[in-house]
Structure 1
Amino acid sequence: MSERPSVIVGVTPSQPHHVVEQALVFARRFDAGIVCVQVDSARFVVDGGDEGVVIAAPFDPDGGDVIEEHFDPEVIARVAPLAEAAGVECRFIATAGDPARMLGQVAESENGILIVVGSRRASFGSSLREFFTGSVAAGLAHRQRRPVIVVPLDPVSPETSLPWDESR
């Protein structure tokens, strides 16, 4: 377990920079590092490997082979310069399983003081995915002792009807 506090941030390959930028703001205010966590939700952890690499298998028996989970190098290339410019130590962990559960586990093992995630985009497709897979932010909010910060990815005006809002 790391003794220095960490801000845990869930990252995805297509996520905008401002989620990590907000995590860096919190890290600087709390004199903490950030730990970027990428979770493959189509797989589960079979074994913990060395240096943050895990061995993962697909949930679907026809879904492929057991593999080592590695952090997306393109995401590292985008995030590392942001952390360096902010003067914040940054580490990367790739894992597999339920994103909310795995972010919580990383927060426990890395002295996480809070968890930062991006919201989902306000679209029918994201609403449908959330119906089947659940909201990472909601899962974290109900299962964590530490604060969860949700950074809006694509805010819409208050007058705009959202796909999941039945009151309009």
Structure 2
Amino acid sequence: MSATVPQPSVERMVPFDRHPLVVGVVPGQDPLVVRTAVQLALATRAPSLHMAFADPARYTVAEHADGSVRHAAIDPDADDEAWRETESALARQVEQAVGGDVPWHLHYLAGRPDRALTHLARAVDAAAVVVGTRAPGSAARLKEFLEGSVAAHLAHHQHRPVLTVPLSVVDWKEIGAPWAR
């Protein structure tokens, strides 16, 4: 017999006031996602922002209580230190977007973004998770069609609110079936 999955409820809510936020970031992402999280952090007096990138080319070896993970490359022939360049570039990207408005931490995670962000949010007792919408383009649409939306997965598999920041909008008149885009 399987255990019951804890459901969202008033008792499980994490107050927005003075609780950190987790922010999903990706290389080259529009700074609007981070700036939106900064504004929410200022409005809720969040002590910090926990920026997180989940590298799908790596897998989690161990999860730690502080939300960090030990990870390794999925490809055994890959340069196991190449991720450090991505981490450095992300740190520069985030620093530029945040400015000096709110303290922040960068977490380099591994695997599925929804699971990695959920683990981090639990670990830091985040009030909410902030993510951007998918990148524009047919490749991104195909990837979302096959894998699903990170925001949708987060909204359905953990109890914290998910703020989805729109990065590209489509005129209502142009909307057709998802497979026709």
Do they fold alike, i.e. is TM over 0.5?
yes
Give the distance between the partners of 2:93 and 2:136, measured in 1 at CA: 24
Q: 2:60 aligns with which of 37, 45, 53?
A: 45
CA contact (8 A) 1:56 1:66 kept: yes
Q: Output the amino acid matched with 1:107.
A: A
Please state whether the residue corresponding to 1:56 is helix, strand or coil. strand
Q: Does 2:117 correspond to 1:103?
A: yes
**Counterpart for residue 158 of structure 1:** 172
In the TM superposition, what is the alpha-carbon distance from 1:52 to its structure 2 partner?
3.9
Query: What does residue range 117-128 of structure 1 map to in structure 2 within 5 Å?
Result: 117-128=131-142
CA contact (8 A) 2:60 2:109 kept: yes
Q: Deviations over 1:45-96 (max 9, x none)?
A: 11358994622231xx66636668546212211222443432x110000010
Give the distance between the partners of 2:124 and 2:37, measured in 1 at CA: 15
Please state whether the residue corresponding to 1:73 is helix, strand or coil. helix
Please state whether the residue corresponding to 2:174 is helix, strand or coil. coil
Unaligned runs of 5+ in 2: 1-17
Structure 1 or 2: larger strand share?
A: 1
**Counterpart for residue 72 of structure 2:** 56
Query: Compared with structure 1, are the counterparts of its residues 111 and 69 closer, same or farther at alpha carbon in structure 2 (3 Å cutoff)?
Result: farther
Deviates more, 1:128-137 or 1:75-84: 75-84
Give the distance between the partners of 1:21 and 1:11, measured in 2 at CA: 12
Give the distance between the partners of 1:42 and 1:163, measured in 2 at CA: 31
Give the distance between the partners of 2:71 and 2:139, measured in 1 at CA: 30
User: What TM-score does the superposition give when structure 1 sets the normalisation length?
Assistant: 0.82
User: What TM-score does the superposition give when structure 2 sets the normalisation length?
Assistant: 0.76
CA contact (8 A) 2:133 2:164 kept: yes
Query: Compared with structure 1, are the counterparts of its residues 163 and 78 closer, same or farther at alpha carbon in structure 2 (3 Å cutoff)?
Result: farther
Identity %: 32
Q: Does 2:135 correspond to 1:143?
A: no
How many pairs are equivalent? 161
Q: Output the amino acid matched with 1:56.
A: A
CA contact (8 A) 2:118 2:158 kept: yes
**Counterpart for residue 14 of structure 2:** none
In the TM superposition, what is the alpha-carbon distance from 1:41 to its structure 2 partner?
1.4
Unaligned runs of 5+ in 1: none
Across the aligned residues of Structure 1 and Structure 2, the Cα RMSD in angstroms comes to 2.8
Please state whether the residue corresponding to 1:72 is helix, strand or coil. helix
